[in-house]
Structure 1
Amino acid sequence: MARQQRTRAEYERGLPDHHDPLGGIGGAAPAYSALTLRAVLAAFGLLSCVAGVVVMAWLGLTWAAVAFVVVGVVCLVDLGWVIHRKRRGEPG
């Protein structure tokens, strides 16, 4: 079964989620994704990894520099995905 493409208006209005019949009485409010916070944290992680690579390369610790590169690539991919989600109109 093919999944239909969602429109920008659907993302702005909010996607359907689990209906909590006690949501207004004592249940938890519907959760929203904190995409902006996630983007800030990914950017901070990316900048920290770049600094880590420079310092570790200067100290001659190649294995540590490679580890920072791997974590930096993960941060870069996450930042790209968050930007993609925000461009298509998801709130957060």
Structure 2
Amino acid sequence: MKTLQPDTANAAQFKKKALELQSGDPPELPSPEPEKVPQQPPETIPQPDGDPIGPDEPDQIPPLPDPGPPWPEPDNPSQPMMF
């Protein structure tokens, strides 16, 4: 049976690496570069050139009709109302 002799150079590198890992300080890893996301300009809403209803134009909305009294009046004021 043949016994394997460790290569002294490889053994020294292995021992050095093992000691580095046991030292308690984590090995420095290069920080990954953040992925750059292309930024688009904000969407703009087109604005009209002027007021849609000018100050010299009449109102476009007709007035509301008069609602009248809040409840109907009884025919005879001496009689109570029935709801």
TM-score (norm 2): 0.23
Q: Which has the higher contact order (CA 8 A, sep 6+)?
A: 1
Larger helix proportion of the pair: 1
Pick the structure with greater CA Rg. 2
